[in-house]
Structure 1
């Protein structure tokens, strides 16, 4: 079984989470305490669920964690939209984050589909 750190989908999600962390770290305390904590938690949840699912040696469990990761990605998108509309994120910051999300979203789906194919072949 491939370790989660070598998965491109994990690497992308980790990059996203770290990028968001370093942006939020510079916000004032009110912004950090409201949107900041939420966006960091949702972004961290993506790669954490990929890692946890990979540690489950049951393909159905792994699939469930990838679905949770996909939900966390959508939640992260939500918080990013609010942060941008509330002028906590600059266009330049969005331009750095968006390509990661644009690559991560289909990769999560592809990873989930590959797990489904594996479980169908058992």
Structure 2
């Protein structure tokens, strides 16, 4: 199998697909907020949630392993900010429904595991290239 045939387009990458699912959930929540709730909670929630996929995309497009890993770490931090802080806060304030909360937690757990795996793959590829 050639190196070129191993390339997975961004839109088919599991971590990117999951990040977009989270963004879609977040957007649904954001759209129903009134102006005050958007200003106080929603703008920061949607910004951090959308940052997850944006950093995956940017990292995936980077050639150098350490740059790629750096963006995956930023994405993982944005995931934590989004779900562990903003979504939890929204749930406590009854902005996020119980069903939305559960689904977001399921998706985010899967994404966190897959992001950790993607980081490990990038480190292994870096180490493999370093030993040549």
- Look up the match of 1:117: 124
Aligned counterpart, 1:14: 20
Count of paired positions? 122
Distance 1:54 1:92 in 2: 32
Structure-1 residue corresponding to 2:59: 53
In structure 1, the partner of 2:4 is none
Distance 2:36 2:26 in 1: 17
Q: CA deviation at 1:93?
A: 1.4
Map of 1:1-122 to 2, 5 A cutoff? 1-77=7-83, 78-122=85-129
**TM-score (norm. length: structure 2):** 0.89
TM-superposed CA distance for 1:10, in Å, is 0.6
Q: Which has the larger radius of gyration?
A: 2
Task: Give the Cα–Cα distance (whole angstroms) in 2 for the partners of residues 2 and 118 of structure 1.
Answer: 16
Q: Unpaired runs of 5+ in structure 1?
A: none
Q: Distance in 1 between matches of 2:91 and 2:32?
A: 15
| Alignment root-mean-square deviation, CA | 0.9
Task: Work out whether residues 10 and 47 of structure 1, in 8 Å CA contact, stay in contact via their aligned partners in 2.
Answer: yes
TM-score, length-normalised on structure 1?
0.96
Equivalent position SS for 1:121: helix
Shift of 1:8: 0.3
- Runs (4 or more) in structure 1 with deviation over 6 Å come to none
Find the aligned partners of 2:39 and 2:15 in 1 and give their Cα distance. 29
